[in-house]
Structure 1
Amino acid sequence: MSTTSEPQQSQLSVTLPIATQNSPIAYGFGSFGLESLYIVFAGFYMFYYIDELGLAVAMAAIINTIYAIWDAVNDPILGFLSDNTRTRWGRRRPWLLTGLPFYVGILVLVYAVPKPFLQGNALFWYALVIFFLFEGARTIMSINYTALFPELFQDFRERTRASSYYQGLGTFGELIGFVIPPFIYAKFGFVPMAISFAGIAGIALFMGITRNKEDPKALKAPPLDLKDAFGEVLKDRPFLWFTIAVTFIMFTTGVYSLATPFWVKYTLAASPQVISLIFAIVFIGAILSVSIWGRLVRVLGIKRSWLWSVGVMAASAMILGLASNLVVGAIGAAAAGISLGGIKVCREIIMANFIDRNLKRTGHRREGVYYSLLHVSGKLSKILESLGLVLLGLLFGYVSGENPGPQPENAFRFLISVFPLVFTIIAWLIASRLSFENKQAEAHP
């Protein structure tokens, strides 16, 4: 496993300071919309289809695996197309404005299942198709929006500030996306829940897209062919190792999201409102810790900050596994939230450093390719989630909400703790061998 030092920070725009051109706060509001909408999908779709509609967990695992493979394929393709787009409106904005209505509209269709599809194999096929469509829209939005970050904010201090807004408001969006839906669907149903979030998230995303402007100099670079676009990135071994570590981290956060409604219901034997409380603790902890992690990055450096955040995530898995009451569960949730804040802040800075180094070496910007490959890691983590669901059936006899087996409380205690602990330890060990620092960029005033 090789190590590398990071390159000097790029400066594409020299006519005006970046801070006066683009708004970190507006970019953060876009992150709020992007993440809150996705969490309304990712946090509840499995619970809705398995426990509410009666889809067998084995069928859900098959869908999740196929969905992850499709996701892993379309991310690099769309990243490549985005990097090579040349219009007078920029590279990313046309994709974002076109994808936005599909992103918000398909979320509603995820929960508005027509009656003819509510039974048997029809539910399986409906879920498979609608998840595919939602993922396509999500990929268009997430790849293009995250790829804006290194271009909009190019100075190290400005990146640290922008990352805090981006991750803070994005995490607040996740908080809202996890905490509010149980209250809405308990009283009004899942469809009104989806419609309300589609409207709010759509407005926030539109603000983030239209307020910030891409650097026009990026349009002057000639488009790259497929080999040149991906070949240089795939030579970046530290980045590839980093994506493996991120895969394991994303698996852990994905398991937390997927397992929490079940864990609250079966392991803690608590009401649905406790689901909201647990998610609130996680994301309030993340939001409150974001600014602290931003300061720690300046003091400890990016690598040590990343390792600390991953270490706290491992500790949270142990606490959640031991929890048999709400108090201990809340402590584990708080630890998970603090860790999440650090991981989010550090990840954006690490990615910007990788992209800067590639720009210095090749003279081309490949944000879309870099972020698409990073997103692949998150999508491949869903395959691990599917294996976890299959193991629940094999080890504990859990089939669905209609047939939970003899030990559902132990099944979800296992899911929420054992896998996350193992994979966060592996992620920590991988990251400990890499260098993420960008000494020259961090020396900028």
Structure 2
Amino acid sequence: MTMPRLSEPSRRALLGLAAAAVGAGLAASLAKLFPWQRAGRDGDRPVADKPYDARENDANLSVTGLTEDELRERGITRMTLGRLPLPSGAVIAADPLVQPERPAFTRTVPPGDYPVTLYRAQDRVALAELRIADGTPEHWDLALVPGQDIATLKAGEIFGYPVDAGLGCFMDPVARDAMQRRDAQEQKRNARYSNYYDDVLADELKDSDLNWVMHRPLPEEPAQVAVFASGWGDGVYASYWGLDAGGRMLRLVTDFGVIENGEGRDPRKVAVTAALAALSPAQRRDSARGYEALRCDDHAAFAALLDAGRIAPETPIEETQGTFTFEAIRLDKPAALERLVRHGAPLLMPPYLQIGDERKTYPAYARDLTASRSPQLLAVIEAWERAGSIDTPSRGQTLP
């Protein structure tokens, strides 16, 4: 099958090795290629001295059993993609454009048609579910392909499929064969044929803003592929079997790493919402007055609120959802920042304001701004850095 060009030579080499291993029937070699650290958007690292815990992803997977109202409270929506034919009972989960040769899971289901449901959060496909039978799973097992051994995993590691085209899928091997035949037909028919995505899938995906489609490779055949966007994009994603108390398979779910602990809302927004909710009505009023004084350079009013303990450097501001320290830097208010530093402003920003490893402190934020801050503000920051520590706690109200 003609594939899109991959962006990194090392990734091309890795996927090439994987395809070669499958083609040669070397499932054990494939297994060694894909134990993968489960990495959230903040780059979580596994605890190397602990074994794999099959329950560590239960909170995410269990949202498939929630009601619509319960999902809505968590910022998650459910949508039905359609029924997927599985005539052989074998299930392949893969990026259909990058590794179509990936083998089916070791477990099989009774041949038949099964509904595919997508769960969306933060405008992304967070989970893809193949519903096999009614019921609520009692436990979840990591879905494996031949040669993978769960005993080799450590905490935070998974076996999953690699994504480099931003897509995942569920399909029967029959549908995989149909895709390969369609690819061969298009190459023979169209001298300008580029690849399966651009020349076949893209038009079908347009109606869903490139997020999902129930793709029929050959119109004259019943084989279909449930195709969907893979969360935040490229990565390695695991699938899990949901089983009842007797070990009966109820569903197969792929987790794309969008939700955390069953919560679909942006954790940063959840944190600031909780912090604002924790303020009393009087504290909210003081925060609003303090922000107005900060914006208008009313130094006397701002100092009075700080000195009286009615606001603090890390008090959240409802209008902007930043802290007073953050807003003093954003608005380039050196006098206010200097006073906040004297009142114990920490160098380390609250987690919801941090971005990756590069912008965790207020000074880093100040230097990262497109418009340079004033020399006066930068002088305050330099003195603050010389005297402070990122471990120094702030006094007064703070975000969790």
TM-score range, shorter chain: under 0.3
Calculate the TM-score normalised by the size of structure 1.
0.21
Larger % of strand: which? Answer: 2
Q: With CA pairs under 8 Å and 6+ residues apart, which has the higher RCO, 1 or 2?
A: 1
Larger radius of gyration: 2
